[in-house]
Amino acid sequence: MTDYSTQKLQCYCCGKASEHSVLMSSNTHGSPDLDQRPPKMHRWTIGSWLQECPYCGYVAPDIDKGDAKARKFLDSDEFRVASLDPSPDPVTRRFLVRAAQRAYQGERRLAFLSTLSAAWVADDANQPTEAASLRLRAARHLEGPRITSIDTRLLLLDVLRRASSWEAAEALTVELTAEELGYPFAEIVAFHRDKIAARDDGRYTIGQALEGKPPPPTAAEDQELIKAIARHIKIVPNPRRK
């Protein structure tokens, strides 16, 4: 069940009020994709994950909340460029504006995730070329210092494979395999390795990657470990309101 509420919100940055459709509840039944794209029902709410002030252009999960950094971004050239993004889809553009803000603030992982969300919009619109382009754009946010986070690199691996960036995907697979990861990360990397070898850029879920590969008996008996694994592989936050 998905419920929305229309609310009048005062923009944190400019102080003007406007009406917005606010997501109140949804469900996440089913396995997310390997890039953490939510299953149906919840992913269909993606248009409400970000709000945009129609007066100043501030984009945020809740435009009535913010900080000094958000106001500073609105005065930047980066904001003006992002606001003029030629994407005809307003939901895509909101995610790209949000990504630009995160990048401006030095939060490259969050910029990566926001751009990846824009790719999900293209997925649902059946625009594979645009989705691949946005995935490569997301990957560029992670260029620079080496990423040590396993969850972020697993997301990046799926992004590179889905964008048919085979050489980069293969290199990341080799890097992750050499680390001798435990369950379920090693199984997910092995799944990607097989798909990359077959030049398969299709969409797959975490459930599909782990099908027929149950946790080792010792891990299955350790409920706290199982909970920790579940938290670790589900890293993209849900919408901010319930």
Average pLDDT (199-216) is 92
Q: How confident is the model at residue 215 (pLDDT cuts 50, 70, 90)?
A: confident
> Could you report the per-residue pLDDT of 127-169, keeping only the tens digit for each?
999 999 999 999 999 999 999 999 999 999 999 999 999 999 9
| Residue 11 reports pLDDT greater than 80 | yes
What confidence tens digit (pLDDT) does each residue in 88-133 have?
799 999 999 999 999 999 999 999 999 999 999 999 999 999 999 9
Mean pLDDT of all residues in 200-226: 77
Q: pLDDT band at residue 230, thresholds of 50, 70 and 90?
A: low
Model pLDDT, residue 22: 83
Give yes or no for residue 27 having a pLDDT over 80. Answer: no
Query: In this model, does residue 234 exceed pLDDT 60?
Result: no
Q: What pLDDT is recorded for position 224?
A: 54
pLDDT given for residue 149 in this prediction: 93
* Beta partners for residue 10, in sequence order: 17
The percentage of the chain sitting over the pLDDT mark of 70, rounded to a whole number, equals 86
